[in-house]
């Protein structure tokens, strides 16, 4: 035994000389440190009330190790051996959240543990482990409640103004009655809970109770929300505190559909170059691309001064246009001015206005442009025709 | 306004007719027909008639509708017998075409006496026209070069006799042989003769259709053409700066201005003078006096004075009592005919002699 102690001391010295490096290395880790202390054999620590780590045994050998019993809500206790120097051992709770346990040092009857995990996890209790015989005696005498909580929504997609029915089902799967049951739920910004109970009546072993409330989405920003679990804090009849939580839920809030007409104006393309004095058609389409029927839609064409309407319906007024429907009208225009011309067609309705624009260039017609040439050519052609006729007259 | 029909028969007649049409365009040259109109001094209708279509095609200033092809191969080959038969076969067509032109106050038939179509058609056509129309029919007969050949000479002889005997309205002679001295080569001679003849015909038409200071008219023309043997010719003179009107009138009777060699003073029967020019050059007393002097030598001389711009121009037209040059021509023609007959007989005899070698023989195979 003395030899063992001497060996353990030597190992301890060695570890002390190297531990700052290891600790420093672990200290460099960004993970949240839940526990960082020495625990004696036979002692235990509760994390977040439901996770328990108890030191069952320590061994000092070539490589020291500690044997730990770990249990958590809905997961049976299991004993694991963790060797000093190993990578942190992962332990996953029933909710899927993991924490990591690392043995930093092992002493004669204690072990230096470091536990890391979720940021909001804290040690909730330190305690001394009673002997198995005592536990078995107590187990026979003590009843323990165990509540399972399930939270459901009648819809997982909602929009502002909508009311969501939330149902919480609680079942006591333990063997004792749960008392002083308190329901704790994190609020969601932009929502309002109605008739949400904060306390639940006692639930006997094997009994199931339901609670329900409504969640009204008031002005929550559209998006996908992950709702934190509903937490039940309760006690056994003997006064021991317990806690249960539901699974997280996902709620999608969409933007409210607004019913509005939206009018688009489009002018069929016309030739980019026109001849002065020529007629050209212009077809205008007014389409309601919104989701509501429009009121009166008034069309107003802004024509350049030298563009005139030759025929067709100019500036019509439509009583209404159904969503997805369109109206079309055509006019025939004529311009006498050269140069660039811009035509605006404006549609005005109660909620707004839309406009489309076309541009074209007007040039003198070929006839007008070559008027002089044609004028000069006519007598020449006449003379030519005359000469040809005369030639024919004299050809035999 | 006089309605005048001018018919050009055969190649020669066609060309003179074409020259008349060309001259009617004035001084516009080759292209005048493309931009100008013919300015005839009267209502003139022209028809070119020929059996040779190529002769019709080569005309340049005669309207296509005024060219009439009488179909017979490409001509009658200077054969008047064939020509007469062809005319007979197409008489209705020819007369129908003429009828379309309306009625006429005066008809000219222009033809060569030597060729085939013209010389054979002319007498027969003159006869038909005489029966159909009351208008005088004056034949412009063009005599050939004497050296052109015996057929042309015999054609001339017979054609001319038929024309004269027809007594349709007189014959005016144009003698190529006489006129060729005024041009160097044959083509130039023909062109010159055609143009000269055309101008004189147009001059005559202008005179007949115009109001004159001293009047001569269609009736006078008929009287002149009835004079003598009904055969005559035309003369012309254009006064120079130094010329007097008297010298111009007398100049128109000089051989150099005539279309046929004749001595008007010895052989003339009746004459017509048409004097055209600026009034300042036209001394009427002198004209009258000169014409009176001429009448004493020539016989009846009709005169007409036409006031126009320019120096005096004088056209003389006369008929003859005798035509010595024609007598010579007929003598030559007779010799030629006899020569042809002898030659043909000899040829036939030689051929018969050749055939006689096989007279008693039969082919053996």
Domain ranges of chain B: 3-209, 230-320
Say what the ipTM of the complex is.
Answer: 0.79
Q: How many CB atoms are closer than 10 A to CB A12?
A: 18
> What's B230-320's CATH class?
alpha beta
Return d(Cα A281, Cα A270) in angstroms, integer: 8
Average pLDDT score over residue span A122-145:
71
- What is the pLDDT at residue A335? 87
B15 chain-A contacts, CB cut-off 8 A: none
Average pLDDT score over residue span A217-221:
84
Give the pLDDT band (50/70/90) at residue A21: very low
Mean pLDDT of all residues belonging to chain B: 92
What is the DSSP code string of A182-226? EEE----TTEEEES--SEE--B-TT-EEEEEEEEEE-SPPSEEEE
Give the pLDDT band (50/70/90) at residue A10: low
Average pLDDT score over residue span A174-194:
87
Query: Is the per-residue pLDDT at A25 higher than 90?
Result: no
Judged on CB neighbours under 10 Å (0-12, 13-18, 19+), A131 is exposed
Judged on CB neighbours under 10 Å (0-12, 13-18, 19+), B118 is buried
Interface contact flag, A396 B59, Cβ < 8 Å? yes
- Contacts of the segment A348-353: beta carbons below 8 A, 24+ positions apart: A348/A297, A348/A298, A348/A299, A348/A300, A349/A261, A349/A263, A349/A294, A349/A295, A349/A296, A349/A297, A349/A298, A350/A294, A350/A295, A350/A296, A351/A260, A351/A261, A351/A294, A352/A262, A352/A263, A353/A263
Q: Which of A379, A382, A394 to mutate to test the interface with B (most CBs of B within 10 A)?
A: A394
Query: Is the per-residue pLDDT at A24 higher than 50?
Result: no
Give the pLDDT band (50/70/90) at residue A141: low
- What is the pLDDT at residue A27? 39
Nearest Cα of chain B lies from the Cα of A361 at a distance, in angstroms, of 46
Query: Is the per-residue pLDDT at A322 higher than 70?
Result: yes
Give the pLDDT band (50/70/90) at residue B297: confident
- Cα→Cα distances A180→A171, A201, A238, Å: 15, 7, 12
Determine contact: B72 vs chain A, CB below 8 A. Answer: no
B65 chain-A contacts, CB cut-off 8 A: 393
Interface contact flag, B62 A394, Cβ < 8 Å? yes
Query: Is the per-residue pLDDT at A257 higher than 70?
Result: yes
Nearest Cα of chain B lies from the Cα of A376 at a distance, in angstroms, of 18
Nearest Cα of chain B lies from the Cα of A390 at a distance, in angstroms, of 6
Give the pLDDT band (50/70/90) at residue B61: very high
B68 chain-A contacts, CB cut-off 8 A: none
Interface contact flag, B65 A393, Cβ < 8 Å? yes
Residue B33: closest C-alpha in chain A: A390
Query: Is the per-residue pLDDT at A87 higher than 90?
Result: no
Average pLDDT score over residue span A145-157:
90
Determine contact: B62 vs chain A, CB below 8 A. Answer: yes
Interface contact flag, B64 A386, Cβ < 8 Å? no
Domain B3-209 has CATH 3.40.50.300: no
- Give pLDDT tens digits for A118-130: 988 889 889 998 7
Return d(Cα A297, Cα A355) in angstroms, integer: 12
Query: Is the per-residue pLDDT at A18 higher than 50?
Result: no
Give the rounded percent of residues in chain A with a pLDDT score beyond 70.
89
Lowest mean pLDDT among B36-40, B48-52, B342-346: B36-40
- What is the pLDDT at residue A336? 85
Query: Is the per-residue pLDDT at A26 higher than 60?
Result: no
Return d(Cα B8, Cα B19) in angstroms, integer: 11
Give the pLDDT band (50/70/90) at residue A234: very high
Interface contact flag, B63 A393, Cβ < 8 Å? yes
- What is the pLDDT at residue B354? 94
Q: Which domains does chain A have, with CATH numbers?
A: 2-129 (2.60.98), 147-253 (2.60.40.10), 263-368 (2.60.40.10)
Query: Is the per-residue pLDDT at B299 higher than 90?
Result: no
Average pLDDT score over residue span A57-86:
86
A383 chain-B contacts, CB cut-off 8 A: 35
A394 chain-B contacts, CB cut-off 8 A: 33, 60-64
- Give pLDDT tens digits for B195-217: 999 999 999 999 998 877 677 88
Of A383, A386, A396, the CB nearest to B64: A396
Query: Is the per-residue pLDDT at A138 higher than 70?
Result: no
Chain A segment 326-385 residues within 8 A of B by beta carbon are 383
Residue B37: closest C-alpha in chain A: A390
- What is the pLDDT at residue A16? 47
Give the rounded percent of residues in chain B with a pLDDT score beyond 90.
73
Interface contact flag, A394 B61, Cβ < 8 Å? yes
């Amino acid at each position: 035994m003395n030899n063992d102690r001497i060996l353990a001391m030597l190992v301890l010295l060695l570890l002390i000389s190297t531990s700052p490096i290891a600790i420093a290395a672990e200290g460099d880790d960004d993970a949240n440190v839940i526990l960082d202390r020495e625990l004696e054999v036979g002692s235990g620590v509760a994390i977040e009330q439901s996770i328990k780590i108890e030191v069952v045994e320590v061994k000092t050998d070539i490589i020291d190790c500690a044997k730990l019993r770990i249990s958590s809500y809905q997961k049976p206790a299991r004993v694991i051996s963790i060797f000093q120097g190993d990578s942190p051992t992962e332990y996953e709770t029933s909710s899927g959240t993991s924490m990591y346990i690392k043995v930093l040092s092992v002493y004669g009857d204690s072990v230096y543990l470091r536990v890391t995990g979720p940021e909001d996890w804290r040690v909730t209790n330190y305690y001394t482990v009673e002997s198995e015989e005592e536990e078995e005696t107590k187990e026979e005498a003590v009843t323990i409640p165990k509540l399972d909580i399930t939270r459901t929504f009648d819809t997982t997609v909602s929009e502002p103004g909508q009311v969501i029915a939330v149902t919480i089902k609680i079942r006591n799967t333990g063997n004792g009655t749960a008392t002083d049951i308190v329901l704790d739920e994190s609020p969601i910004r932009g929502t309002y809970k109605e008739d949400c109970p904060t306390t639940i009546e006692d639930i006997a072993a094997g009994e199931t109770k339901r609670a329900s409330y409504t969640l009204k989405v008031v002005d929550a920003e559209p998006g996908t929300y992950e709702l934190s679990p509903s937490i039940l804090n309760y006690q056994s009849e003997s006064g021991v505190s317990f806690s249960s939580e539901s699974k997280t839920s996902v709620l999608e809030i969409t933007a409210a559909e607004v019913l509005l007409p939206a009018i688009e104006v489009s002018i069929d393309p016309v030739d980019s170059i026109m001849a002065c004095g020529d007629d050209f058609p212009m077809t205008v389409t007014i389409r309601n691309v919104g989701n509501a029927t429009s009121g009166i839609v008034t069309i107003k064409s802004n024509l350049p001064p030298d563009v005139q309407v030759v025929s067709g319906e100019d500036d019509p007024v439509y009583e209404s246009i159904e969503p997805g429907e369109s109206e079309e009208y055509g006019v025939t225009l004529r311009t006498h001015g050269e140069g660039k011309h811009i035509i605006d067609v404006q549609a005005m309705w109660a909620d707004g206005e839309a406009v489309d624009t076309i541009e074209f260039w007007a040039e003198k017609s070929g006839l007008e442009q070559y008027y002089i040439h044609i004028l000069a050519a006519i007598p020449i052609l006449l003379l030519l025709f005359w000469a040809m006729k005369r030639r024919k007259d004299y050809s035999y | 306004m006089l309605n005048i029909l001018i018919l050009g028969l055969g190649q020669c007649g066609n060309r003179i007719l074409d020259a008349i049409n060309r001259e009617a365009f004035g001084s516009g040259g080759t292209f005048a027909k493309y931009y100008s109109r013919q300015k005839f001094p009267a209502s003139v209708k022209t028809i070119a008639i020929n059996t040779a279509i190529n002769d019709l095609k080569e005309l340049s200033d005669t309207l296509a509708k005024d060219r009439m092809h009488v179909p017979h191969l490409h001509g009658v080959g200077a054969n008047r017998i064939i020509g007469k038969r062809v005319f007979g076969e197409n008489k209705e067509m020819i007369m129908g075409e003429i009828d379309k032109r309306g009625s006429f106050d005066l008809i000219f038939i222009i033809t060569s006496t030597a060729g085939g179509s013209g010389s054979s058609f002319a007498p027969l056509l003159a006869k038909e026209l005489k029966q159909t129309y009351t208008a005088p029919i004056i034949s412009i007969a063009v005599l050939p070069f004497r050296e052109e050949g015996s057929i042309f000479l015999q054609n001339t002889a017979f054609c001319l006799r038929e024309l004269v005997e027809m007594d349709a309205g007189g014959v005016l002679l144009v003698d190529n042989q006489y006129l060729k001295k005024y041009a160097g080569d044959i083509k130039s001679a023909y062109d010159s003769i055609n143009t000269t003849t055309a101008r004189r015909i147009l001059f005559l038409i202008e005179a007949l259709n115009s109001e004159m200071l001293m009047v001569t008219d269609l009736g006078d023309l008929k009287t002149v053409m009835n004079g003598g043997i009904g055969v005559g010719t035309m003369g012309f003179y254009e006064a120079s700066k130094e010329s007097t009107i008297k010298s111009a009138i007398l100049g128109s009777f000089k051989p150099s201005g005539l279309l046929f060699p004749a001595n008007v003073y010895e052989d003339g029967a009746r004459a017509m003078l048409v004097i055209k020019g600026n009034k300042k050059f036209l001394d009427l007393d002198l004209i009258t006096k000169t014409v009176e002097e001429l009448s004493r030598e020539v016989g009846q001389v009709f005169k007409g004075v036409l006031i126009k711009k320019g120096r005096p121009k004088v056209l003389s037209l006369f008929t003859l009592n005798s035509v010595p040059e024609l007598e010579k021509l007929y003598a030559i023609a007779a010799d030629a005919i006899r020569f042809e007959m002898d030659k043909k007989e000899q040829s036939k005899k030689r051929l018969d002699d050749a055939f006689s070698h096989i007279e008693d023989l039969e082919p053996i195979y």
